[in-house]
Amino acid sequence: MRDFTDPNTKNESEEILERSLRPSSLSEIIGREVEKKNIQIMIDSAKKRSKALDHILFHGPPGLGKTSFAYVIAKEMAVPIHITNGSVLDKPGDLAAILTSLENNSVLFIDEIHRLKLNIEEILYPAMEDSVLDIVIGKGPNARTLRLELPQFTIIGATTKLSMVSGPLRDRFGMSFRLDFYSDEELQQLVLQKSRMLNVNIEEPAALEIARRARMTARIAIRILKRVRDMAVVDGREVIDYEIAQKTLGLLDIDDNGLDMLDRNILKIIIEHFNNRPVGLSTLAASLSEEPDTIETVYEPFLIKKGLIKRTPKGRVVTHIGLREYGGEHLLGIEEY
Ligand code: ADP
């Protein structure tokens, strides 16, 4: 159940489906008006100047459109896109091999760019700035630096942890966009768009209900839509209405606020085990048998956005709204943080 609402986890069939549902132009991207406008100007300018697009960094929680933007940008620029991940580049040679094989003006998408090792990152600096690759040959006093010219290219970086991207790397991106959570209305539009792509008939109230309970996250909305579609097929219904959506969400154990079991457990532990005294991330993760990283990048941002928990210098506490809605009324007014 947990994997269902963790937008970090994806299986193979989901990867394939996601690829087929990706927007193929800027106009197909729902919402994100400011980002689209800025990117369109950058693209138009690069095209007019016949130059590679400036480097762009996207950051924000998983499942909110970072990868989609990278693909759309490459498509709009009509250039090839190459995909890699900060965690798989082990040696400087791994990155050098990719950089030297890029076509002119192409896009290199580096997902989880915060996971790049420092010695690999250092190769990127001159590559991003001057399109050159500095290779050190030999060791000690005999070491020499060989400079190779690279083609013009664009790095599109994506990260869920901006704070872990070093200053010098951040500075080398011409533009940086934070992709925040979606509003219910935007996600409703997204559910309607993906339903058309999947040839699924859905009524607007059903799409809104899925949107409302999808953790403000595109990937989760798509996942719920698929489960609701399955339920409609099994029930022999041609059209997805509000009732089928409700029934499926109930079976998935997603509550009225869109919280899943783990979200609710986070609130429960802070309320019941700690009487709403501030709880540190590692203590919270240990109590839930979860990775601190997952709590920090997936669960916490959503619960904070919903106004259910907040961070204090001493740790996480449940807000008044959270206490009222999740069984902590007796702790209202007792604030020790
Ligand atoms: P991230 O890279 O941030 O984890 P993705 O770009 O992979 O997220 O998005 C997850 C899914 O949601 C993809 O299938 C994508 O098509 C869809 N999606 C995300 N944002 C939008 C959007 N603004 N418009 C249309 N589809 C979107």
Transcribe 70-122 into DSSP letters: HHHHHHHHT--EEEEETTT--SHHHHHHHHHTPPTTEEEEEETGGG--HHHHH
Question: Whole-angstrom Cα distance, residue 159 to residue 56?
Answer: 11
Q: Please report the domains of the chain, with CATH numbers, ordered by start residue.
A: 32-178 (3.40.50.300), 182-251 (1.10.8.60), 261-331 (1.10.10.10)
Which of 14, 22, 160, 180 maximizes ligand 1 atoms within 8 Å of its Cβ, making it the mutation to test the pocket? Answer: 22
Alpha-carbon span 306 to 326, nearest angstrom? 13
What residues does 82 pair with on adjacent strands? Answer: 108
pLDDT at 10 over 80: no
Q: How far is the CA of 219 from the centre of ligand 1 (A)?
A: 6
Lowest mean pLDDT among 69-83, 97-111, 124-138, 198-212: 124-138
Query: Known catalytic residue: 297?
Result: no
Cβ pair 105, 47 in contact under 8 A:
no
Specify the ligand 1 atom closest to the Cα of 179.
3
Average pLDDT of every residue of the chain: 93
Whether the CB-CB separation of 126 and 132 falls below 8 Å is answered with yes
Q: Which residue's structure tokens are 């690759």? A: 133
pLDDT mean over 144-159: 94
Predicted confidence at residue 155, as pLDDT, reads 98
Give yes or no for a contact between 221 and 211, defined as CB atoms under 8 angstroms apart. yes
> How confident is the model at residue 306, as a pLDDT?
94
> Which residue type, as a one-letter code, is found at position 161?
K
The answer on pLDDT for 220 being more than 80 is yes
The percentage of the chain sitting over the pLDDT mark of 70, rounded to a whole number, equals: 97
**How far is ligand 1, taken at its centre, from the CA of residue 30, in Å?**
9
Q: pLDDT digit string (tens) for 25-45? A: 999 999 999 999 999 999 999
For the cut 80, the answer to whether the pLDDT of residue 2 exceeds it is: no
Question: Do residues 157 and 113 lie in contact, with contact meaning Cβ atoms separated by under 8 Å?
Answer: yes
Side chain identity at residue 63, one-letter code? G
Q: Assess whether pLDDT exceeds 80 at residue 15.
A: no
Please indicate whether residue 319 is annotated as part of the active site: no
CA atoms within 13 A on the CB side of 299: 25
| Whole-Å CA distances, 138 to 78, 142, 145, 321 | 40, 6, 9, 62
Instruction: Over range 63-89, report the average pLDDT.
Output: 96
Task: For residue 160, indicate whether it is catalytic.
Answer: yes
Give the mean model confidence (pLDDT) for residues 150-176: 95
Q: Name the more confident of 13 and 231.
A: 231
Residue 211 half-sphere exposure toward CB, CA atoms < 13 A: 22
Whole-number Å distance, alpha carbon 222 to ligand 1 midpoint, is 9
What pLDDT does residue 149 have? 93
What pLDDT is recorded for position 3?
63
Range from 4-8, 95-99, 100-104 carrying the lowest mean pLDDT = 4-8
CB contact at 8 A, 2 and 215: no
Whether pLDDT at 51 is above 60: yes
Check whether 335 has a pLDDT greater than 70. no
The DSSP output letter for 147 is E
Which residue's C-alpha comes closest to atom 15 of ligand 1? Answer: 22
Mean pLDDT of 265-292: 94
Is the confidence at residue 180, as pLDDT, over 70? yes
In whole angstroms, what is the distance from residue 258 CA to residue 261 CA?
A: 10
- CA atoms of 279 and 325, how far apart (whole Å): 19
- Measure the CA dihedral 329/320/258/161, to 10°: -140
Q: Is the pLDDT of residue 65 over 90?
A: yes
Question: Which amino acids bring their CB within 6 angstroms of ligand 1?
Answer: 18, 21-23, 29-32, 62-68, 158, 190, 218-219, 222
